[in-house]
Amino acid sequence: MDISLLVIMIVLGLIGSFFSGLLGIGGAIIMYPLLLYVPPLFDAASFSAHEVSSISMFQVFFASLAGLLAFQKNSKENMGPAVVHQELVVFMGISILAGSLIGGYISGLLQGDIINLIYGILAVLAVILMLIPRKGSDEIKDNLQFNRVIAIVSAFIVGIVSGIVGAGGAFILIPIMLTILKIPTRTTIASSLAIVFISAIGGVIGKLTGGHIPFWPTLFTVVGSLIGAPFGSKISSKINVKVLRYGLVVLIALTAVKVWASIL
């Protein structure tokens, strides 16, 4: 592994994890196209869809963990009580873990073009969900109520498809939590990081059983992830929730356009 690829992987990991901490996503929504297109642009490497999904899943695992810890620390310092909703995390976390274990294993059996197609569909669906007007407050609630059946079923399905593309699932999970379950924005961002971390455990196990893991690129991407996530979380606690919400819409939309352009 040459020095140029080493630097590129660290920078890409940093970028993905920064958005992870900032917007409560695992980072795969932006990492997937970055890993697919940026290294070849500099003639540093060319990863297959299987390798990209594996690197992305490991990045999500460490970025979501670092982002969650930093978000919890910053929320106590700047917003009072922690905003991770434990019951929501338990119900959706266990369900998404089961789904991601299945999806991670299935990924190794699919062709690269199918993985890219699934990713493109998920990105478009996420944008649509985020643009649907929703009612509800962005205030943190102590007695938050949500539909447990919808939470469990949706998390399981998200776990399967996100395990396939090497994501934690937050880029589709967050719109579901905001628009369908009507969870307040800051609670969604913080809780989704915890849920994504649980999902990533299953995804990583699935990738380990399925193979296609380039060791050194993965390692240095993770190094970058551990650097970027705390910065994103710190900035997140100081930004208006509407800015966070529409920032995520723009991010997913740009990614969807790029992925579908390559597919078509």
Question: Is residue 235 domain-resident?
Answer: yes
Q: Judge whether 263 lies within some domain.
A: no
User: What pLDDT, on the 0 to 100 scale, is given for residue 77?
Assistant: 60
Is residue 115 domain-resident?
yes
Question: Exposed, middle or buried, 7 (CB in 10 Å: 0-12/13-18/19+)?
Answer: middle
Measured from the Cβ of residue 261, the count of other Cβ atoms closer than 10 Å reads: 9
If you search the block for the tokens 């992305």, which residue do you land on?
56
Residue 246 lies in a domain: yes
Query: 207: closest CA among 47, 32, 50, 54?
Result: 54
The pLDDT profile of the chain, 264 residues, written as one tens digit per residue, is 688 899 999 999 888 778 766 766 666 777 877 888 899 999 888 898 888 888 988 888 887 777 677 666 666 665 555 567 889 999 999 999 999 889 888 888 888 888 888 888 887 887 787 677 655 455 555 677 889 999 999 999 999 988 888 777 777 788 788 888 888 877 887 788 788 888 888 878 877 876 678 889 999 998 888 887 777 767 776 777 567 667 777 877 877 787 788 777
Q: Which domain holds residue 19?
A: 3-258
Does pTM top 0.85 for this prediction? no
> Would 93 be classed as within a structural domain?
yes
Sign of the alpha-carbon torsion through 169, 171, 174, 179 = negative
Count of structural domains, the chain: 1
Q: Is residue 91 part of a domain?
A: yes
Single-letter residue type at 257: V
Can you give the pLDDT at residue 138?
57
Whether residue 186 is contained in a domain is answered as: yes
Q: Does residue 264 sit within a domain?
A: no
